[in-house]
Amino acid sequence: MVKLSDLVKQIDTVHGICPECDEEAILVAIVTDYYRCTNCGEDTRQYVNGSIKYLKITREDKEWLKKHRLESPNS
């Protein structure tokens, strides 16, 4: 049996500034490079180019996310 504490350790979380609510927040990965803000619940996209930034997602990003969320083995 898997312990809850072991599952929590496997969750990809980062600390960053949410572009939607402009607050420091814990961002939880929903799929690779896409995170959900724990403050406001909005989804963001991680952008890495010398530094890590979190961007508002576009309509195309939302469509990609819906498609890949259905294919993800963790959902």
Segment 15-66, tens digit of pLDDT: 999 999 999 999 999 888 899 999 999 999 998 888 888 889 899 988 888 8
CA distance 43 to 57: 7
Please indicate, yes or no, if residue 37 is contained in any of the structural domains.
yes
Which pLDDT does position 75 carry in this prediction? 45
Q: Is the model's pLDDT at 74 over the cut of 70?
A: no
Please indicate, yes or no, if residue 6 is contained in any of the structural domains.
no
Please indicate, yes or no, if residue 64 is contained in any of the structural domains.
yes
| Angle (nearest 5°) at CA 69 between 64 and 70 | 105
CA distance 1 to 4: 10
CA dihedral in degrees (10, 11, 16, 21; nearest 10)?
Answer: -170
27 near 35, Cβ under 8 Å? yes
Q: What is the pTM of this model?
A: 0.70
Q: Is the model's pLDDT at 73 over the cut of 60?
A: no
- Overall number of domains in the chain: 1
**What is the residue range of 43's domain?**
11-71
